[in-house]
Amino acid sequence: FHDLNIEWLETFFYVEPYDREVLSHPQKYILDPGGEIFFAVDDNGKILGTVALMPYDSQVYELTKMAVLPSARGKKIGHLLLQHCNDYVRSLGHERLMLYSNTKLENAIYLYRKFGFKEVTVEKNSKYERCNIKMQLDL
């Protein structure tokens, strides 16, 4: 989880202090508050991708820290991870998924829109410096 996300961040942006804190302490920031971390693995058990869900409020989960191994990109791993998160949050009876991203990530934004995510206003005090788009999916 940590290494895949650090590699992804260093490839496309840089590791922000909030990223480093969450990735160094996923138990504290993701799991203990009621979140989940999921992995996509191949038939040999090799991790191809990962994603986390963090509770945003009582009815909303934040989709965060999605990263795919460079050699597995373009093979629909992100699609599978996103579908799993969507199904999981629906099974819990929650109302919405939301995420923060950057429009530089054209393939990711396309995928989110394909799943039905809509752009909403980004808060002025967003926890991510790189964030220039916030999206949500009503379930």
Residues 32-70: tens digit of each pLDDT? 999 999 999 999 999 999 999 999 988 999 999 999 999
**CATH fold of 2-138:** Aminopeptidase (3.40.630)
Give yes or no for a contact between 63 and 98, defined as CB atoms under 8 angstroms apart.
Answer: yes
pLDDT, one tens digit per residue, over 86-139 is: 999 999 999 899 999 999 999 899 999 999 999 999 988 888 889 999 999 998
Kindly report the CA angle at 103 between 37 and 76, in degrees rounded to 5?
50
d(CA 75, CA 120): 28
pLDDT, one tens digit per residue, over 76-86 is: 999 999 999 99
Domain boundaries, the chain: 2-138
DSSP 130: T
Sheet containing 36-41: order of strands: 36-41, 47-57, 60-68, 96-101, 133-138, 118-120
Ramachandran assignment for 66, one of left (phi > 0), alpha (psi -120 to 50 degrees), beta (any other): beta
d(CA 74, CA 56): 29
Quick one: pLDDT at residue 105?
Answer: 92
